[in-house]
Amino acid sequence: MPKVVEVVFWSSKTGNTKSFCNKLKELGGENVQIIELNKDGLTWKIDFNNVVIVTPCYADSLGNHSVPAPIIKFLNKNKHQHNKIKGVVGTGNRSFGQWFTNSADVIASKMNIPVLGRVELKGTLEEAKEVIDAFYANGVL
Protein backbone atom coordinates (compact mmCIF):
# COMPACT_ATOMS: atom_id res chain seq x y z
CA MET A 1 0.00 0.00 0.00
CA PRO A 2 1.47 3.40 -0.95
CA LYS A 3 2.27 5.95 1.73
CA VAL A 4 -0.19 8.78 2.23
CA VAL A 5 0.77 12.16 3.62
CA GLU A 6 -1.86 13.99 5.66
CA VAL A 7 -1.45 17.67 4.86
CA VAL A 8 -2.96 19.51 7.82
CA PHE A 9 -3.48 23.21 7.23
CA TRP A 10 -5.31 26.31 8.29
CA SER A 11 -6.16 29.01 5.80
CA SER A 12 -7.41 32.52 6.39
CA LYS A 13 -10.18 34.18 4.42
CA THR A 14 -7.76 34.90 1.57
CA GLY A 15 -7.61 31.17 0.88
CA ASN A 16 -3.96 31.32 -0.16
CA THR A 17 -2.82 28.36 1.96
CA LYS A 18 -5.83 26.30 0.93
CA SER A 19 -5.11 27.05 -2.72
CA PHE A 20 -1.53 25.81 -2.29
CA CYS A 21 -2.70 22.65 -0.52
CA ASN A 22 -5.07 21.97 -3.41
CA LYS A 23 -2.05 22.15 -5.74
CA LEU A 24 -0.29 19.56 -3.56
CA LYS A 25 -3.35 17.32 -3.82
CA GLU A 26 -3.52 17.82 -7.59
CA LEU A 27 0.11 16.77 -8.00
CA GLY A 28 0.18 14.08 -5.30
CA GLY A 29 -3.14 12.42 -6.14
CA GLU A 30 -4.10 9.56 -3.85
CA ASN A 31 -0.86 9.97 -1.90
CA VAL A 32 -1.92 13.38 -0.56
CA GLN A 33 -4.88 13.90 1.76
CA ILE A 34 -5.62 17.52 2.65
CA ILE A 35 -7.20 18.23 6.03
CA GLU A 36 -8.35 21.74 6.84
CA LEU A 37 -8.48 22.93 10.44
CA ASN A 38 -11.25 25.13 11.76
CA LYS A 39 -10.52 28.23 13.86
CA ASP A 40 -10.43 26.04 16.99
CA GLY A 41 -7.71 23.80 15.60
CA LEU A 42 -10.13 20.93 15.09
CA THR A 43 -10.64 18.67 12.11
CA TRP A 44 -12.82 15.74 11.14
CA LYS A 45 -9.85 13.41 11.54
CA ILE A 46 -8.80 12.25 15.00
CA ASP A 47 -5.96 9.76 14.46
CA PHE A 48 -3.06 10.67 12.24
CA ASN A 49 -0.26 8.65 10.70
CA ASN A 50 2.01 10.77 8.51
CA VAL A 51 1.45 14.52 8.88
CA VAL A 52 2.90 17.59 7.24
CA ILE A 53 1.66 20.94 8.53
CA VAL A 54 1.17 23.78 6.06
CA THR A 55 0.94 27.09 7.85
CA PRO A 56 0.66 30.74 6.92
CA CYS A 57 2.67 33.31 8.86
CA TYR A 58 1.28 36.33 10.71
CA ALA A 59 4.38 37.73 12.40
CA ASP A 60 4.41 41.29 13.63
CA SER A 61 7.36 43.57 12.91
CA LEU A 62 9.39 41.77 15.63
CA GLY A 63 8.51 38.25 14.49
CA ASN A 64 6.09 37.65 17.36
CA HIS A 65 2.88 35.62 17.04
CA SER A 66 3.82 34.19 13.66
CA VAL A 67 2.12 30.80 14.16
CA PRO A 68 -1.66 31.12 13.67
CA ALA A 69 -3.81 30.23 16.69
CA PRO A 70 -5.59 27.30 14.95
CA ILE A 71 -2.20 25.64 14.27
CA ILE A 72 -1.12 26.14 17.89
CA LYS A 73 -4.43 24.70 19.11
CA PHE A 74 -4.06 21.69 16.80
CA LEU A 75 -0.53 21.01 18.07
CA ASN A 76 -1.60 21.39 21.71
CA LYS A 77 -4.61 19.09 21.28
CA ASN A 78 -2.54 16.42 19.55
CA LYS A 79 0.61 16.26 21.69
CA HIS A 80 0.24 12.48 21.86
CA GLN A 81 0.68 12.38 18.06
CA HIS A 82 3.61 14.77 17.63
CA ASN A 83 5.83 11.87 16.55
CA LYS A 84 3.62 11.53 13.46
CA ILE A 85 4.37 15.07 12.27
CA LYS A 86 7.14 14.70 9.71
CA GLY A 87 7.63 18.25 8.47
CA VAL A 88 6.23 21.72 7.93
CA VAL A 89 5.68 24.00 4.93
CA GLY A 90 5.44 27.75 5.35
CA THR A 91 3.31 30.10 3.30
CA GLY A 92 3.41 33.85 3.48
CA ASN A 93 4.15 37.13 1.83
CA ARG A 94 7.70 38.15 0.99
CA SER A 95 6.82 41.70 2.04
CA PHE A 96 7.21 40.37 5.62
CA GLY A 97 10.96 40.42 4.92
CA GLN A 98 12.95 38.37 7.41
CA TRP A 99 9.71 37.04 8.93
CA PHE A 100 8.53 35.46 5.65
CA THR A 101 7.36 31.93 6.59
CA ASN A 102 8.70 32.39 10.14
CA SER A 103 5.86 30.24 11.46
CA ALA A 104 7.41 27.22 9.71
CA ASP A 105 10.77 27.97 11.34
CA VAL A 106 9.17 28.24 14.80
CA ILE A 107 7.34 24.92 14.43
CA ALA A 108 10.37 23.15 12.92
CA SER A 109 12.61 24.33 15.74
CA LYS A 110 10.21 23.40 18.54
CA MET A 111 9.37 19.99 17.07
CA ASN A 112 12.76 19.13 15.57
CA ILE A 113 11.26 18.53 12.11
CA PRO A 114 12.38 19.82 8.72
CA VAL A 115 10.96 22.77 6.82
CA LEU A 116 9.95 21.08 3.56
CA GLY A 117 9.18 24.24 1.62
CA ARG A 118 8.39 27.94 1.61
CA VAL A 119 5.90 29.49 -0.76
CA GLU A 120 4.56 32.95 -1.35
CA LEU A 121 0.82 33.51 -1.19
CA LYS A 122 -0.97 30.77 -3.22
CA GLY A 123 2.28 29.29 -4.50
CA THR A 124 2.83 27.97 -7.99
CA LEU A 125 2.57 24.49 -9.45
CA GLU A 126 6.37 24.48 -9.67
CA GLU A 127 6.62 25.24 -5.93
CA ALA A 128 4.08 22.51 -5.21
CA LYS A 129 6.20 20.08 -7.24
CA GLU A 130 9.27 21.10 -5.22
CA VAL A 131 7.38 20.41 -1.99
CA ILE A 132 6.19 17.01 -3.25
CA ASP A 133 9.83 16.27 -4.16
CA ALA A 134 10.82 17.28 -0.61
CA PHE A 135 8.21 14.84 0.75
CA TYR A 136 10.01 12.04 -1.11
CA ALA A 137 13.50 13.27 -0.25
CA ASN A 138 12.63 13.33 3.47
CA GLY A 139 10.82 9.98 3.56
CA VAL A 140 7.38 11.50 4.05
CA LEU A 141 6.19 9.77 0.86
List of domains in the chain = 5-58+66-116 (3.40.50.360)
Among 26, 19, 100, CA closest to 57: 100
- pLDDT for residue 1 is more than 60: no
User: Who has greater pLDDT, 63 or 37?
Assistant: 37
- Rounded distance between C-alpha atoms, residue 138 and residue 141, angstroms: 8
Each residue's pLDDT tens digit, 39-81: 888 887 878 899 999 999 887 777 778 899 999 999 999 999 9
Give the pLDDT confidence score for residue 2 in this predicted structure.
Answer: 66
Give the pLDDT confidence score for residue 44 in this predicted structure.
Answer: 76
User: Who has greater pLDDT, 115 or 44?
Assistant: 115
Q: For the residues 95-117, what does the mean pLDDT come to?
A: 92
**Total count of residues recorded for the chain:** 141
- pLDDT for residue 93 is more than 80: yes
